[in-house]
């Protein structure tokens, strides 16, 4: 299952790395792809991952916000 999100507030490659690292640690997530331009984030998982878990991980990465796309 692939779910698309939009992450706001990222300004550099370091931001992308922090978001990728934190979201990768969420239970059930198998792969994360984040792009700086436009803030697109694709999250792969075997089963549905609660949006609250994604929000928490993105906020843990820094001062970013996320919405489902």
- pLDDT band of 67, cuts 50, 70, 90: very high
DSSP state of 14: H
Q: Note the pLDDT of residue 55.
A: 98
Mean predicted confidence (pLDDT) in 53-69? 97
For the domain made up of 2-68, give the CATH fold: Alpha-Beta Plaits (3.30.70)
Name 2's bridge partners. Answer: 44
Order of all β-strands in the sheet with 29-34: 29-34, 40-45, 2-8, 65-68
CA atoms of 28 and 24, how far apart (whole Å): 9
For the chain, the domains span 2-68
- Report the Cα–Cα distance between both ends of the chain, in Å, rounded: 14
Q: Are 54 and 43 in contact (CB under 8 A)?
A: yes
> Can you give the pLDDT at residue 26?
98
In the predicted model, what is the mean pLDDT of the chain? 97
pLDDT in tens, 30-54: 999 999 999 999 999 999 999 999 9
pLDDT of residue 24: 98
């Amino acid at each position: 299952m692939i779910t698309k999100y939009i992450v706001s507030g990222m300004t550099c490659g370091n931001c992308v790395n922090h978001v990728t690292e934190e979201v990768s640690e969420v239970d059930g997530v198998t792969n994360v792809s984040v792009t700086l331009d436009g803030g697109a984030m694709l999250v792969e998982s075997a089963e549905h991952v609660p949006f609250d878990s994604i929000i928490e991980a993105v906020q843990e990465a820094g001062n970013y916000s996320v919405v489902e796309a």
